[in-house]
Structure 1
């Protein structure tokens, strides 16, 4: 039995539904395209397939019935590519969409398409004819959180100078001491994430968080497993020390009083804190950093030497021409008088340097009270002080050997490349360790796992050395020219300056200036 149903009729056109689609017949001209579109909008079940037929029917009226559209699906279900959302379009007239039967049809079509999860009931009960709406929504997976490591922070060795008119303080925390049982770090474990679901009810696996290992010296640090995290504690008293990324507690010797008759000379493999002073004619030698905390400093001790670290002498040195200070890194002291200093790093003096011989990369007296009086100062990069010499014109010799700026820049660029390569290698090892660490093969491949850790730590240790060198070179390149002597206040006559073997005798007082080597001569700024 053939279908012939009248859908719309007016003095201008009629629309009928037949077995093979929808037909338009026009009776007279006068109906615009826009008006015809309004008629179509009220019949979302009609899908136009031939716009030319519509145009001819309206423009060339009258016209015999001609097919211009097909029937849309009553219920159209579309599911997004990720299967997390389903959309429905109800292609029926508005009167029909208000009935309960259409809701049943939508539910049956959802079931037929397998959409069973996250169906929005409120949307289902408020469908709109011809409008595409979100009918079901799945639950996306929640990916796991990466493990997070937090470690004890080594305080930067930076002297603080206070000048309050009543007392001069020169304070510095050089050695980071901890006691047994003290917190050293923690690792919050990676989480597996939460499973999601598609609108089809299928599970969506989350990406588990990456597990980054936390490195520590098992001889001096213990790991305590707690809910969701691993906490590190010191197993002995000592100084916090990092070898690469691995935290450890190094040997730390603390002498409560003086180094002298009771203790004898000290030669220690580790860090040393002397709460008193170092008495005359005694020697202190260590591999790591040394702190001498007496407010009165030291007198004519024989020698203080750090083979690998820095030295901090809170009260300064009155050496009486006998004391020798040697260190691999930096030296920090409040004042120095009548002493000899050999330092591979920078010498930072709080207030004055009197009749002393100093060899270092840099010699810096940052305080506006800083004075260099007498003696011989030899630096590779620069010397900075407020005052040089005295009104009585005491002979003061300042020599800056200088450097090749181009060569130093080239070495910095090479160093940056090496650092980048080390970081790349380190990240590769870190990724391998991360994957390896969460696999079930750790126990059976323990030696391989430990080798990865060893390689990673070796690279990290090398990276730290190069990073420190890069930081130093970058600082050197901030110096004016290729060697600089900075005068923050005044230089008195009989002060002798030399930069890159070019000499300058100060014959009249000079105020606030800098001398630097550039283009074969000493320039002043």
Structure 2
């Protein structure tokens, strides 16, 4: 220090910030030639209890050139601020942001613009959200050394909506039913069993794959697909689209298939009309007409509304086909088959085609083997011909085994065709020429119009009975 007789505290004071996280040195008095040592300056700091976060290099600068710091405040110490804890959070297992719909990219790099609807499907018992606990705050430290309290994170409550349950510990939310996860007012999480589209299924909606029931308040356009574990209800029409429901399908305005897409239900298909379409179900109910379509039902097909017309195509049912009118005056080819589950009849036809092809292949194999056998008998069988002979014998053996299995399956299906006594075709009004009636393994061609008739097996043939 210079010749001044006053203590350093006469010249220097320490100012603390309100939060005690900052300490500033300022000169309250000054004089030329003022000098002091680091220990003297540390004594001043100690008198103010400044013990944490001291900037030693800044103190040394002040000692070297005090006059440079005569005016203004100089930061000489910084405390450690407290870190507040993070609030608890609800972690969703699904992305519920509906603004991120994007078309899906296919393996070849092209984009399928029909794949834009993303439904957050969940099954009963599946977790849909977890509650993450809050974290404690980390205390800070003032420049005076005292601890500064930190706020702990706040707890978050589970917001339970419809068809959602929480575990006893309130740490997770689970689906109480099959359905889709949605967020409603006040961020409540719900699981709804029905997915609704208030309009057409088009490029703005895309294909739908849902674990519950789907309701379309519009039309389903060509090329789109709806698949669900429940029912499908369409208030408009269905064009050349694929509909696949484990439950039933109801189409208010009818099906105009353009020979594209398949409508398949695990239970019932109900529609006002079906035209140029393929329909597969346990039961089919049509109020107006079935035209030029392939309709297959495990049990029955009924078309006897005001019009009640079946014309063109192939109609197959395990038990009964009932219609008001079958065929037309122009003798349009129409096939009605009953008495066996359609899949079995189609399997039988496929097996017969495969057996025919295998027999033709067997004939070629046997002719080639006959030639090779002759060469072997003459002792002129080359090594490559010998290898060919071994391969052909192996192929022949495998073909015989496969044909044997196919013939057994054919006999099994044909036996089920025999049990068709209860199967019937009922025509409330008129059946026209050009119609083929198949019951079990028996066939009848209609040559002249007939009214009010029931077709059923009797004495090993398709017989006609007046419809009561």
Give the shorter-chain TM-score range: 0.3 to 0.5
Which structure has more strand as a fraction of its residues? Answer: 1
TM-score when normalising by structure 1: 0.37
TM-score when normalising by structure 2: 0.42
